[in-house]
């Protein structure tokens, strides 16, 4: 099933890029003052921004000293704008449906859990072979 992507429609995008949030960035988004207050400490964090649009949040979290930022969006036009407005090698943009991103993240997390379980099981078996002095 093809994912919906109205943002690459020329007519829609032309109107969207004129909206206050598209022109002024985070300060132009009515919800920003509430969202900003809810943001955790971002220093040295790796951040994934799903539905990154023009990349405003990606750039903001880097200003807050996030270590690495990945922005994901389905729209090539949105990502093109994000790339044009970003001059930071620690911000990467990927074209991908959010649903696919979430599944890949969940698969990665599940793989890590299985790997940790395997390691812990092996450590437990190995610990039984040693005598604590």
pLDDT digits (tens, 9 = 90+) for 36-69: 999 999 999 999 899 999 999 999 999 999 999 9
| Cα dihedral sign, 42-44-48-51 | positive
Residue 112: what pLDDT?
74
d(CA 7, CA 5): 5
CATH of the domain at 63: 3.40.50.150
| One domain, residues 66 and 123 | no
Contacts of residue 9, Cβ cutoff 8 Å, sequence gap at least 6: none
pLDDT digits (tens, 9 = 90+) for 111-130: 777 887 787 777 777 766 66
Full domain range(s) for residue 66: 6-96
What tokens does 129 get?
Answer: 């072979």
Residue 111 lies in a domain: yes
Residue 38's Cβ-count burial label (10 Å; 0-12, 13-18, 19+) is: exposed
Residue 1 lies in a domain: no
């Amino acid at each position: 099933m093809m994912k919906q992507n109205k943002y690459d429609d020329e007519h829609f995008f032309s109107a969207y890029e004129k909206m206050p949030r598209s022109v002024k960035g985070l300060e132009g988004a009515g919800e920003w003052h509430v969202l900003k207050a809810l943001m955790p400490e971002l220093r040295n964090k790796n951040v994934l921004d799903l539905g990154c649009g023009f990349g405003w949040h990606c750039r903001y979290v880097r200003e807050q000293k996030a270590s690495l930022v990945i922005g994901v969006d389905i729209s090539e036009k949105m990502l093109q704008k994000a790339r044009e407005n970003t001059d930071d090698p620690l911000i990467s943009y990927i074209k991908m449906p959010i649903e696919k991103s979430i599944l890949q993240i969940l698969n990665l997390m599940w793989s890590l859990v299985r790997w940790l379980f395997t390691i812990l099981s092996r450590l437990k078996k190995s610990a039984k072979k040693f005598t604590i002095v």
